């Protein structure tokens, strides 16, 4: 198992630390929290091949200064991608993240947000944290509770759920009659390392009698929060495309709509307190299809009307 392999390098510490008996109270706690892919999250699944976001908090008790803390996070099937702390790197196994701290002072917490790449198939992955440390010259180990991330198929590229960092993008399959791409700003506000994002292409009630019965559903729960990583001056950008195969007979669009409301041009109504989405361009025709580009700081449903 990866767990056994991950601890092999510190086996001497584990052996001493585990000899304290059942009454031993470790001076360090390790808590791994999911940022996407569980029932406690706004985006409750990760598509196969998407990024899994997690936060690890390692805390020293109020009366303990611990030295030489070796922190690991291991997954059974996902591979480590990146983290927001320089102390954390990929371990000798691709499924392992390793962080090293010379000291964790009493009452302090070391926090790191990390990402794993979900495998291309399967319905779940399990990830768990450990912390090996020295306290008063006595080595020990703490094993935190595991996190199970629910995985789901992309359904032919019509569904993409992932934990995105700055400048990253997510795009549905270009062969779909209506498809889309969303690009994160270079920097996410509030010091956020990433943001849980879901994009789904699906059928829907048409916005008019001759309109296409298609919509793009963008779900970024953080975009509706007070501490949103986006703003009018730090928006994400988007492109929504309606292929000729998706254009109904005798249809000509009046524009792109957001939650049933026509999206204004950015030149007329730029992003601000009362405008959370606007178009930078709208081009096309019946035989070439239609393409709408724009910027936004909130999620919602997008469709051609």
pLDDT in tens, 140-180: 889 999 999 999 999 999 999 999 999 999 999 999 999 99
Where b means 16+ CB within 10 Å and e means fewer, 5-44 reads ebbeebeebbeebeeeeeeeebbbebebbbbbbbeebbbb
Q: What is the C-alpha to C-alpha distance for residues 89 and 257, in angstroms, rounded to an integer?
A: 44
pLDDT in tens, 199-210: 999 999 999 999
Rg (CA), the chain: 23
Beginning with the edge strand found earlier in the chain, give each strand of the sheet holding 28-34 in spatial order: 28-34, 51-60, 109-117, 79-83
Give the mean pLDDT of 83-104: 97
Q: What is the C-alpha to C-alpha distance for residues 286 and 243, in angstroms, rounded to an integer?
A: 9
What is the predicted pLDDT for the residue at 49?
Answer: 98
Q: Is the pLDDT of residue 2 over 60?
A: no
301 C-beta neighbours (distance < 10 Å), count = 16
pTM metric for this prediction: 0.91
Helices H / strands E in the chain, number of each: 2, 22
Specify whether the backbone of 47 is left (phi greater than 0), alpha (psi in -120 to 50) or beta: beta
Model confidence at 26, in pLDDT bands (50, 70, 90)?
A: confident
pLDDT in tens, 232-287: 999 999 999 999 999 999 999 999 999 999 999 999 999 999 999 999 999 999 89
Give the mean pLDDT of 178-190: 98
What is the predicted pLDDT for the residue at 11?
Answer: 33
What is the predicted pLDDT for the residue at 136?
Answer: 65
**Range in 14-23, 41-50, 102-111, 178-187 with the lowest mean pLDDT:** 14-23
- The tokens of 194 are what? 């990433």
Dihedral (Cα; 11, 14, 19, 23), 10-degree rounding: -160
Model confidence at 6, in pLDDT bands (50, 70, 90)?
A: very low
- The tokens of 134 are what? 């020295």
Q: Is the pLDDT of residue 17 over 60?
A: no
What is the predicted pLDDT for the residue at 27?
Answer: 87
The CA–CA distances, whole Å, from 53 to 127, 135, 144, 206, 242 equal: 11, 31, 17, 35, 31
Q: What is the C-alpha to C-alpha distance for residues 54 and 98, in angstroms, rounded to an integer?
A: 14
- The tokens of 21 are what? 């008996």
- 3-class DSSP state of 62: coil
């Amino acid at each position: 198992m990866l767990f056994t392999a991950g601890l092999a390098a510190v086996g001497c510490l584990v052996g001493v630390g585990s000899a304290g008996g059942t009454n031993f109270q470790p001076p360090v706690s390790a808590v791994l929290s999911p940022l996407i892919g569980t029932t406690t999250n706004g985006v409750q699944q990760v598509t196969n091949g998407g990024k899994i976001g997690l936060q690890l908090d390692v805390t020293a008790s109020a009366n303990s200064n611990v030295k030489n803390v070796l922190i690991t996070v291991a997954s059974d099937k996902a591979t480590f991608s990146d983290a927001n702390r320089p102390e954390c790197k990929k371990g000798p196994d691709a499924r392992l993240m390793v962080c090293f701290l010379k000291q964790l002072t009493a009452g302090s917490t070391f926090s790191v947000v990390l990402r794993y790449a979900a495998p291309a198939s399967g319905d779940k992955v399990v990830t768990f944290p450990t912390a090996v440390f020295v306290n008063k010259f006595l080595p020990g180990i703490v094993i935190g509770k595991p996190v199970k991330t629910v995985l789901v198929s992309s359904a032919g590229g019509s569904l993409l759920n992932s934990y995105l960092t700055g400048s990253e993008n997510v795009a549905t399959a270009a062969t779909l009659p209506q498809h889309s791409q969303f690009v994160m700003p270079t920097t996410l506000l509030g010091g956020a390392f990433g943001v849980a994002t879901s994009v789904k292409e699906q059928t829907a009630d048409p916005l008019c009698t001759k309109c296409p019965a298609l919509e793009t559903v963008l779900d970024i729960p953080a975009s509706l929060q007070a501490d949103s990583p986006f703003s009018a001056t730090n928006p994400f950008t988007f492109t929504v495309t309606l292929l000729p195969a998706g254009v109904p007979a005798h249809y000509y669009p009046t524009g792109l709509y957001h939650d049933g409301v026509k999206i204004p041009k950015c030149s007329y109504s730029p992003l601000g307190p009362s405008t959370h989405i606007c178009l930078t361009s709208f081009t096309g025709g019946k035989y070439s299809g239609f393409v709408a580009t724009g910027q936004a700081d909130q999620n919602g449903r997008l469709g051609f009307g």
